């Protein structure tokens, strides 16, 4: 395994098997020989149906879950490297928000976890609120239990960006949002892309991937079925990504 400094993410045959059942005598293979690369500055979409293993892969990359076998690097460093954590931002699939806190308090709390000085955290929080489109007065006054799903997702994005990360890992960032909410989150992701950030995001929604990504991979039943740019994958295939996606995953799902 060589250190490739041009790659933000590289995995080699990552496999994850969970033991389940009362006696832990059953096994579920959530990820099987998963090998992908994501270049720095790229927006990469991991597309797959529910249960494909998308969250499992992100959790392994973040060091939340350990792979059963295989290897991976983030920003040229092995998984679990403490230094690399400060360059990563993460929005979980079902982010938990402290209901009684205001967005401002929550973001201050997140900044504290990075031991950010108070003056720097204030500046950063203001910048991020601007980016995600939440007024400072609302962020300071309103407890998050009164926020809509779309607003909470924007707060989630702000917390993922508090440390100005180079690599941003987003797990289903548009899920559960109405069309306007999806549009707004997509615009935020596109502005991060313009800043040159590397974005890795999981989705089961084809249009989100189609509109944002430089490259994508299709994951089904734990296996990477294909990887490349939309153009590379569709090639002379006249039909839509949807048709392509279905043609790829159908044999896996019904096998
Ligand atoms: N902690 C766990 N224990 C047992 N099985 C799990 C666990 N986490 C995920 N799985 C299983 O692994 C598979 C992939 O799950 P997941 O990575 O959450 O998929 P996705 O994010 O693509 O919907 C599913 O079958 C799921 O039930
Ligand atoms: Mg998931």
C-alpha gyration radius of the chain: 19
Q: Write down the pLDDT at residue 74.
A: 96
- How far, in Å, from the CA of 254 to the mean position of ligand 2? 20
**9-54: per-residue pLDDT in tens?**
999 999 999 988 888 888 999 999 999 999 999 999 999 999 999 9
Q: How far is CA 63 from the centre of its chain?
A: 14
- How far, in Å, from the CA of 124 to the mean position of ligand 1? 35
Structure confidence at residue 98 as a pLDDT band (50, 70, 90):
confident
What tokens does 163 get? 């440390």
How far apart, in whole angstroms, are the C-alpha atoms of residue 158 and residue 164? 10
What tokens does 184 get? 């707004």
Q: Write down the pLDDT at residue 1.
A: 46
E strand map for 147-241: 167-171, 198-203, 215-220, 223-228
Q: Supply the residue whose CA is at minimum distance from atom 1 of ligand 1.
A: 18
Q: Write down the pLDDT at residue 78.
A: 93
Report the share of the chain in percent with pLDDT over 70. Answer: 96
Mean pLDDT score across all residues of the chain: 92
Q: Write down the pLDDT at residue 80.
A: 86
- For residue 233, what is the DSSP state? H
Best of 56, 59, 61 for a ligand 1 pocket test (most atoms within 8 Å of beta carbon) = 56
User: Do 81 and 74 touch, CB atoms closer than 8 A?
Assistant: yes
Domains defined for the chain, CATH in brackets: 7-253 (3.40.50.300)
**128-184: per-residue pLDDT in tens?**
999 999 999 999 999 999 999 889 999 999 999 999 999 999 999 998 888 888 898
Q: Write down the pLDDT at residue 4.
A: 62
How far apart, in whole angstroms, are the C-alpha atoms of residue 200 and residue 197? 10
Q: Which ligand is nearest to the CA of 54?
A: 1
- For residue 102, what is the DSSP state? B
- How far, in Å, from the CA of 203 to the mean position of ligand 2? 8
- For residue 143, what is the DSSP state? B
pLDDT tops 80 at residue 217: yes
pLDDT tops 60 at residue 3: no
Q: For ligand 1, what atom is nearest to the CA of residue 28?
A: 5
Length, in residues, of the chain: 255
What 3-state DSSP class applies to 54?
helix
Q: Supply the residue whose CA is at minimum distance from atom 14 of ligand 1.
A: 53
pLDDT tops 50 at residue 206: yes
Q: Is 60 exposed, middle or buried, given 0-12, 13-18 or 19+ CB atoms closer than 10 A? A: buried
> Which residues line ligand 1 at a C-beta cut-off of 6 Å?
18, 20, 28, 30, 48, 50-56
């Amino acid at each position: 395994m060589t250190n490739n400094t041009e790659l933000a993410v590289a995995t080699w045959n990552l496999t994850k098997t969970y033991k389940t059942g009362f006696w832990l005598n059953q096994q579920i293979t959530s990820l099987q020989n998963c090998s992908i690369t994501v270049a720095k500055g790229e927006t990469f979409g991991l597309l797959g149906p529910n249960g494909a293993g998308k969250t499992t892969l992100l959790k392994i990359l973040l060091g939340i879950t350990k792979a059963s076998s295989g290897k991976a690097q983030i920003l040229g460093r092995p998984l679990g490297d403490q230094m690399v954590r400060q360059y990563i931002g993460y929005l979980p699939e079902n982010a938990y928000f402290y209901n009684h806190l205001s967005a401002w308090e929550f973001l201050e709390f997140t900044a504290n976890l990075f031991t950010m000085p108070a003056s720097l955290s204030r500046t950063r929080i203001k910048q991020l609120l601007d980016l995600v489109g939440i007024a400072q007065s609302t962020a300071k006054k309103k407890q998050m239990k009164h926020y809509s799903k779309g607003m909470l997702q924007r707060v989630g994005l702000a917390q993922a960006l508090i440390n100005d990360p180079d690599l941003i890992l987003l797990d289903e960032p548009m899920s559960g949002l109405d069309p306007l909410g999806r549009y707004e989150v997509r615009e935020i992701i596109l502005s991060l892309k313009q800043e040159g950030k590397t974005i890795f995001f999981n989705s089961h929604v084809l249009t989100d991937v189609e509109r944002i990504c430089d490259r994508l991979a299709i994951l089904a039943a734990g296996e990477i079925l294909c990887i490349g740019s939309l153009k590379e994958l569709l090639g002379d295939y006249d039909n839509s990504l949807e048709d392509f996606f279905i043609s790829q995953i159908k044999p896996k799902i019904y096998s």
